[in-house]
Structures are given as structure tokens and as C-alpha cells.
Amino acid sequence: MKQRPTLADVAKACGFSLSTVDRVLNARAPVRQATARRVFDAAAAIGYSVAEKAAPQPPETDQRRLGFLLLDPVQEFYQEFSDQLEAAIREAESPPDARFDYIRDRSPEAIAAQIRLLANDRDRLAVACYEHPLILEAIKEAENRDVRVTALLSPLSVVPTRAYIGLDNRRVGRTAAWGLTHLAPHPGKVGIFVGSHRFIGHELREMGFRSYCREHAPAIEVLEPLVNHDDPEQAYKGTRDLLQRYPDLCGIYVAGGGMEGVIQALYDAGAPPLGVVTQELTTTSRQALLDQRISLVIATPLRQLATDLIRQMCLDEAPQNSQQHTLPCMLYTPENC
């Protein structure tokens, strides 16, 4: 005797999650009309009996509700990224309703609270922050309510079903090491700055950097990373300390934010030429390249990132191959910045 189709069968047939199918067929919450139609069509196609109460109801809105949680907009990189996101939203085929929020208090409690607040009236979130149990718990709560969360620029845990969009950070670290080892004036010690030990993206960059040096540049000694919390003032102090403590310092890699402080310290100290690699092309890093205070900038293609992110977030259901969406990095030198 043939078994009756189940909710899981409908989910498989339409390509949506089980929770989405349950919301539609058991009339638990409004969904977009296109989503409901696809679920009902799949149910009919496999012979799933739909309860009368689950007859399609007019949705609250067909407009996607997107939420973005980004780091402090004082940083030029995030100002530019916000502008690119807004442009991509305006140019979308069906422009979504977007809400932007910014992290000014970096405590995990504050970030978790912001995620919960955004998830209250958004059905898609993109989050750029570090990993912490409290933050992950807030994300899991949102996902359990069928809010799809995308990790932005830095991965959030290794959950295979949580989408990520940004650079391949381990490859970025290896690229930084390749550039620095070719541009450093002599072998010696290299200092690394990270924003936080909990930023997985920064951790992966450091891993890639060390891996390349072990393989190709054993004469380079990579020092323990300095945490600057993406703060230029802390980065400034850390750079001056590196210059004073290590006369054989040959290079610096800024794996996260705070490069403005590193660059200012190099100007103020009148330091001899070093191999210096930073992340993201801004007004400050471009001028430092032209002045040859830094050697190489590894940048994110923000326009492509914004366009791809908006397109992915607006899909009814994320394609299976979109969970890890990495973009090629861009390299800038004094000759092409």
C-alpha cells in the first residue's frame, strides 16, 4: 500500500524548508504569495491533502523585508558599503524594504539584542560581526522563526546551512603573505593586527598568512597577533610599540580594521621602508600607497558584494550552492590605486 505524502515530501518537492511548508499548509503565519503558490502547487503535484483552513490567504506583503547589521558607520569602508547596498536595493527588480542598523556597542550582549530586535520584523538578515555564544544563540532563535541569516564578510560558526558571502579569508591571508614576503626590504619579524580573536574572518587570514610563510618564507618570523578592536588609536600605539621593540621588523599585516592608526604611526615615526599590507582601499590607504608608506592593499569588490547579497537575500529560498558565496579579492599597489 502506497504511503501518504508527508510535509517533508512537500518540502522536498518545492525546495523550501520544512518550517516554511508548515507555515503555509497549516496557516501558521502569512507568507509571500509566490511562496504560498509554489508550496500549494507542489502539494497538489504529489497528492498531499491540503486542509481547508490552509487555503491561500492574502499575504501581509510581497515585499521582502531585509535587515542589515553592520559595524560602526564612522569607518569609511562601512560608509561606502552602505552606499553600495542602498544602490543595489534601488536597482533590484523588486526593491525590498531594507532596514540598516549599526554596531556601536561591541559587547556580545548588545549585538545579540540588536539581532533579536531586527529579527522581529525582518524575514532576512545579513550580519557582519564576530562570533560569540550569545550572538550565535540570538541567530539560532531568529533561524528557528524562519528568518534566514547570512554571515557577511566574516563567517559565523561552521554551520553548513548558514549562508556566508564575502572573501575567501584564508586565501586573502596567503595573498597578503605573498605580497609582504616579496616587498619586505629584508627578512625579519612581521607584526599582525586583528580586530578580535573572535572574528573568524581575521583568524582565517592569520592562518593563511602563517601557512604561506611556513611554506615559502621560513626566514620570516610572524609575531603573535595584536588585537586592536578595529580602533585606529589602539593600532597606532601597537605600531609604535612594534617599531621600538623590534629593530629587525620587516613588515606589518593589518588583517582587519584600524589601518588608519598603523599608517599614521608609520608617518610619525619616520620609519624606514617596511612591507606593509592592509585591507580595503579608502582615502587613507590610497594616499599611503601613493606615498609608499604601505605596499599593498587587498580590497573587497563592494559593488559586486552588494549586488550579489541583495539578489541572494531576495530569493524565496536559498539555492543549495549559495551557502558559501566567495568573491575574488582586488589588489592595489602604488601604480594602480
Check residue 56 and give its pLDDT: 54
C-alpha span between 296 and 292 (Å, rounded): 9
Check residue 319 and give its pLDDT: 53
Q: Which fold would CATH assign to domain 169-299? A: Rossmann fold (3.40.50)
C-alpha span between 76 and 281 (Å, rounded): 9
Check residue 16 and give its pLDDT: 73
| Residues with pLDDT less than 50, the chain | 1, 52-53, 58-59
C-alpha span between 239 and 272 (Å, rounded): 13
Q: Is 27 left (phi over 0), alpha (psi -120 to 50) or beta?
A: left
pTM: 0.82
Check residue 162 and give its pLDDT: 81
With cell 599608517, the residue in question is: 263
Class of CATH domain 65-166+302-327: alpha beta
Residue spans per domain, the chain = 7-54, 65-166+302-327, 169-299
Check residue 54 and give its pLDDT: 55
Check residue 57 and give its pLDDT: 52
Check residue 23 and give its pLDDT: 73
Check residue 17 and give its pLDDT: 72
Check residue 52 and give its pLDDT: 47
Class of CATH domain 7-54: mainly alpha
Same fold flag, 7-54 and 65-166+302-327: no
